[in-house]
């Protein structure tokens, strides 16, 4: 371990996944990487174990991508939440938008709201849509409200009054009365000062639901980092958390607004994918991140983009998130036969415990087991040889599993079927972010990463006629690398609802954006940031009478830009029609220190090109296939498939007749 100056703390990015916890840091201009098995019962244990192995005793900055928020929502293991809203609107989170996910299914189960009926409380108050206080809650009513909430003993409280985005006075009065109950408060005018009462209330409720869980987890993580990472007593540790929007935030902010972290890890993957693609001269990519539990895909056209409305576990969330499509397809996805005898794969996953059969404890066949049976995974080269996959156990257990179900499929036929089914699921996700949104995937590069991405990328590219695949250097830890290079980001918004035809109300808009800037400056100062702040201004715009908006950058030519975006998005526009400026958005960015990376070099000893040969199944046919250690490949030299390329964090499968090579940064290109 190289010596470091105490004035420059070690920056370590850690991404917690369903199966592995990935760590990335930079030392002497080179990226270092470590993977350890995740500990789902308490993810901080795996992080502490990783830090012990890294052995840093210097001051530490930990940048963390976490799945705690996502898993809490999926498993419904959050806090007992009380919702306080305007009287008469207590059931808004249950009424929702009346959108039926299955139009002709009369027996589908709706997603249950996170707040039970007896924990919803109404306040006698009213603010008009233009911000005039029509009825303020009385002191007697607030005392009665406090006693009712106290009697129900909630662990967190969500406050979302009807027009608090227009005037927060009544909501602030309610919050002041309830703040000494000992439960954390999630207040709508602070978290999401926007219209649409259902989405706003749902977002605030999700925040409250996650807040105690995230607070306990991050406090546990902080304690473990200080106690078990081998740091000196005089050393310091600071923790930052990745947000769904693609930027990091301070630990305190993540505790107050955990709703902004529910897609923490996948967001790091998209940021890292673009960073590595740019180093290889590509900016139009489809990122394909296949891990142990799920697959995340996103389309990036020159820059990372996101939206302001998403749905997590069937619940609407209205904070900025990168536009990522997630499906339950990963290396640990479990295969089964349904009642009709059809083969299904996922979304259930074996995770890290018990894991796939080949890990030594699992008993149900998974995608990883299928790849091993087909020869695509090398038992003695997994994790650089640190962990051996048990091929004999896999064949024995899967054979018994098939026999028990009276299947006539051979091991190889069953494994090939698993691969086809899981590929179909992932192909559909790629189509959603590309073809279904008006983008031609043939014009993009498929950038594959995650521990299992390289195993499936070439087959997916062939199905979608994507001509080129990139498997970046250290693909199994690219999400952690993305977290390492992410900037500090804070997002602010405010609904204004201004109508215009030709002239923009620039004075009003500038005044409102100035208020958001002052809020951003105050928040950055409170967290100790002294660097300059860069701002990105945008506006949600719609034609008068429309129900939804498009977000466009704020410039003097905003109206023309909106018409062009409407034309691109929907195929038509109305240049002479009134438009409405709905919500102003400001993104404040402080640049993070960017690691200075050395160009990859391959030593002569590694460049010998020695290779092994073994049988691998492609399209049901057993073919002798070259197996390379990725470190032995010479940059610039072209190789031919079929080939299996192994490395510490991943394995890549190159089909017959494909060409592949490394560029000077160590990124691998495959011409399908």
pLDDT of residue 5: 46
Domain endpoint, select from 261, 279, 296: 261
Instruction: Report, as an integer, the average pLDDT of 537-541.
Output: 96
Bridge-based pairing state of the strands 284-290 and 534-543: unpaired
Highest mean pLDDT among 399-413, 500-514, 605-619: 399-413
Q: Say how many domains are in the chain.
A: 6
Cis peptide before 354 (omega within 30 of 0): yes
- Give the whole-angstrom CA distance, residue 237 versus residue 593: 17
Q: Where is pLDDT greater, at 100 or 466?
A: 466
Most distant pair of Cα atoms in the chain: their distance: 83
Tokens 């390289």 belong to residue: 454
Quick one: how far is CA 484 from the chain centroid? 15
Same domain, 390 and 351: yes
Quick one: how far is CA 474 from the chain centroid? 19
- Give the whole-angstrom CA distance, residue 356 versus residue 393: 11
Do the domain assignments include residue 328?
no
Same domain, 357 and 403: yes
pLDDT of residue 20: 83
Instruction: Report, as an integer, the average pLDDT of 217-229.
Output: 82
The full DSSP string for 38-58 is: --TT-HHHHHHHHHHHHT--S
In sequence order, which ranges of 35-186 are alpha helices (DSSP H)?
Answer: 43-54, 68-75, 92-95, 139-152, 169-178
pLDDT of residue 56: 64
Q: Where is pLDDT greater, at 420 or 9?
A: 420
Q: Which of 223-227, 317-321, 521-525 has the lowest mean pLDDT?
A: 223-227
- Give the whole-angstrom CA distance, residue 472 versus residue 27: 19
**Over 70: is that where the pLDDT of 426 sits?**
yes
Same domain, 94 and 149: yes
- Give the whole-angstrom CA distance, residue 594 versus residue 591: 8
What residues make up the domain containing 60?
A: 10-72+213-261
Confidence of residue 500 (pLDDT cuts 50, 70, 90): confident
- Give the whole-angstrom CA distance, residue 433 versus residue 506: 35
Same domain, 205 and 228: no
pLDDT of residue 235: 53
Cβ contacts of 145-149, under 8 Å, gap ≥ 24:
145/84, 145/121, 145/174, 145/177, 145/178, 146/177, 146/178, 146/181, 148/121, 149/82, 149/84, 149/121, 149/178, 149/181
**Over 70: is that where the pLDDT of 430 sits?**
yes
- Mean residue pLDDT of the chain comes to 89
Confidence of residue 2 (pLDDT cuts 50, 70, 90): very low
Radius of gyration of the chain (CA): 26
Do the domain assignments include residue 3?
no
**Over 60: is that where the pLDDT of 466 sits?**
yes
Do the domain assignments include residue 343?
yes
- Give the whole-angstrom CA distance, residue 664 versus residue 597: 12
Bridge-based pairing state of the strands 643-646 and 651-654: antiparallel
Tokens 């908006």 belong to residue: 549
Same domain, 543 and 581: yes
Do the domain assignments include residue 288?
yes
Q: Which of 168-172, 397-401, 498-502 has the lowest mean pLDDT?
A: 498-502
Percent above pLDDT 70 for the chain: 95
Same domain, 87 and 155: yes
Do the domain assignments include residue 600?
no
- Give the whole-angstrom CA distance, residue 286 versus residue 446: 5
Do the domain assignments include residue 250?
yes
* CATH number reported for the structural domain that contains residue 112 in this entry: 3.40.50
Between the alpha carbon of residue 564 and those of residues 284, 440, 555, 567, 568, the distances in Å are 21, 19, 14, 5, 6
Cβ distance 295 to 242 under 8 Å? no
What tens digit of pLDDT does each residue of 577-606 get? Answer: 899 999 999 999 999 877 765 544 444 334
* CATH number reported for the structural domain that contains residue 61 in this entry: 3.30.420.40
List phi, psi (to 5°) of 618. -125, 120
Same domain, 106 and 252: no
Same domain, 128 and 190: yes
Cβ distance 442 to 286 under 8 Å? no
Tokens 């062009």 belong to residue: 564
Bridge-based pairing state of the strands 445-449 and 284-290: parallel
* CATH number reported for the structural domain that contains residue 277 in this entry: 3.30.420
What tens digit of pLDDT does each residue of 656-672 get? Answer: 999 999 998 889 999 98
Same domain, 387 and 352: yes
Bridge-based pairing state of the strands 643-646 and 621-629: parallel
**Over 90: is that where the pLDDT of 441 sits?**
yes
pTM for the model stands at 0.85
What tens digit of pLDDT does each residue of 269-285 get? Answer: 999 999 999 988 898 99
Between the alpha carbon of residue 379 and those of residues 36, 337, 471, the distances in Å are 18, 27, 21
Residue 468's Cβ-count burial label (10 Å; 0-12, 13-18, 19+) is middle
* CATH number reported for the structural domain that contains residue 574 in this entry: 3.30.1490
Same domain, 106 and 186: yes
Confidence of residue 609 (pLDDT cuts 50, 70, 90): very low
Cβ distance 363 to 396 under 8 Å? no
Percent above pLDDT 90 for the chain: 64
Do the domain assignments include residue 83?
yes
Same domain, 246 and 275: no
Same domain, 353 and 301: no
Cβ distance 304 to 486 under 8 Å? no
Residue 105, number of CB atoms within 10 A of its CB: 9
Highest mean pLDDT among 295-309, 347-361, 362-376, 526-540: 362-376
CA 227-238-1 angle, to 5 degrees, is 70
Q: Which two tokens stand for residue 280?
A: 């290889």
DSSP code at position 453: H
Separation of first and last alpha carbons in the chain: 40
Do the domain assignments include residue 153?
yes
* Number of DSSP helices (H) and strands (E) in the chain, helices first: 16, 34
Task: Give 306-331 as a 3 state SS string.
Answer: EECCEEECCEEECCCEECCEEECCCC
């Amino acid at each position: 371990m190289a010596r470091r100056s105490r004035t420059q703390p070690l920056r370590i990015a850690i991404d917690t996944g369903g199966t592995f916890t990935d760590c990335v840091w930079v030392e002497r201009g080179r990226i270092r990487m470590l993977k350890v098995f995740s500990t789902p019962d308490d993810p901080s244990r795996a992080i502490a174990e990783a830090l012990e192995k890294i052995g840093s005793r210097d001051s530490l900055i930990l940048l963390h991508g976490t799945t705690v928020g996502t898993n809490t929502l999926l498993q419904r293991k959050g806090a007992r939440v009380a919702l306080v809203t305007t009287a008469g609107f207590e059931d808004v989170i249950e009424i929702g938008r009346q959108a039926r996910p299955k139009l002709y299914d009369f027996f589908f189960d709706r997603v249950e709201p996170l707040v039970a009926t007896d924990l919803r409380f109404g306040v006698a108050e009213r603010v008009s849509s233009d911000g005039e206080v029509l009825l303020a809650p009385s002191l007697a009513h607030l005392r009665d409200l406090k006693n009712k909430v106290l009697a129900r003993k909630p662990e967190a409280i969500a406050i979302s009054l009807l027009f608090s985005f227009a005037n927060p006075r009544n909501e602030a009065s309610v919050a002041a009365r309830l703040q000494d109950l000992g439960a954390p408060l999630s207040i709508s005018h602070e978290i999401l000062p926007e219209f649409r009462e259902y989405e706003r209330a749902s977002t605030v409720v999700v925040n409250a639901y996650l807040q105690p869980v995230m607070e306990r987890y991050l406090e546990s993580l902080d304690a473990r980092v200080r106690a078990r990472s081998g740091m000196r007593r005089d050393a310091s540790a600071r923790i930052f958390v990745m947000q769904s929007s693609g930027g990091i935030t301070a630990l305190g902010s993540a505790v107050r607004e955990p709703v902004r972290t529910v897609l923490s890890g996948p967001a790091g993957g998209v940021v890292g994918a673009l960073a590595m693609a740019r180093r290889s001269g590509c900016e139009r990519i489809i990122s394909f991140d296949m891990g142990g539990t799920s697959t995340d895909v996103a389309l990036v056209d020159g820059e990372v983009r996101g939206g302001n409305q998403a749905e997590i576990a069937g619940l609407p969330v209205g904070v900025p998130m990168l536009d990522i499509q997630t499906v339950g397809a990963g290396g640990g996805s479990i295969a089964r036969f349904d009642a009709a005898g059809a083969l299904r794969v996922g979304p259930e996953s074996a995770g890290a415990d018990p894991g796939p059969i080949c890990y030594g404890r699992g008993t149900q066949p998974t995608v990883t087991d299928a790849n091993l049976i087909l020869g695509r995974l090398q038992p003695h080269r997994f994790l650089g040889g640190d962990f051996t996959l048990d091929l004999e156990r896999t064949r024995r257990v899967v054979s018994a599993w098939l026999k028990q179900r009276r299947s006539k499929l051979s091991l190889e036929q069953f494994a090939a079927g698993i691969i086809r089914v899981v590929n179909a699921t992932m192909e559909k996700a790629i189509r959603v972010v590309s073809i279904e949104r008006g983008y031609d995937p043939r014009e993009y590069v498929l950038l594959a990463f995650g521990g299992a991405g390289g195993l499936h990328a070439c087959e997916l590219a062939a199905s979608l006629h994507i001509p080129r695949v990139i498997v970046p250097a250290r693909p199994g830890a690219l999400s952690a690398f993305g977290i390492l290079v992410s900037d500090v980001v804070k997002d602010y918004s405010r609904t204004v609802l201004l109508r215009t035809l030709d002239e923009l109300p620039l004075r009003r808009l500038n005044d409102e954006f100035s208020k958001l800037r002052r809020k951003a400056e105050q928040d950055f100062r409170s967290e100790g940031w002294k660097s300059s702040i860069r701002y990105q201004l945008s506006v949600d715009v719609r034609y008068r009478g429309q129900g939804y908006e498009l977000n466009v950058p704020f410039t003097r030519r905003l109206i023309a830009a909106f018409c062009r975006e409407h034309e691109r998005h929907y195929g038509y526009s109305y240049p002479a029609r009134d438009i409405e400026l709905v919500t102003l958005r400001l993104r404040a960015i402080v640049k993070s220190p960017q690691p200075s990376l050395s160009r990859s070099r391959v030593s002569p000893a590694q460049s010998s090109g020695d290779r092994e040969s073994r049988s691998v199944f492609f399209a049901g046919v057993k073919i002798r296939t070259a197996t390379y250690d990725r470190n032995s490949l010479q940059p610039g030299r072209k190789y031919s498939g079929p080939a299996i390329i192994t490395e510490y964090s991943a394995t890549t499968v190159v089909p017959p007749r494909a060409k592949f090579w490394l560029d000077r940064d160590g990124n691998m290109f495959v011409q399908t």
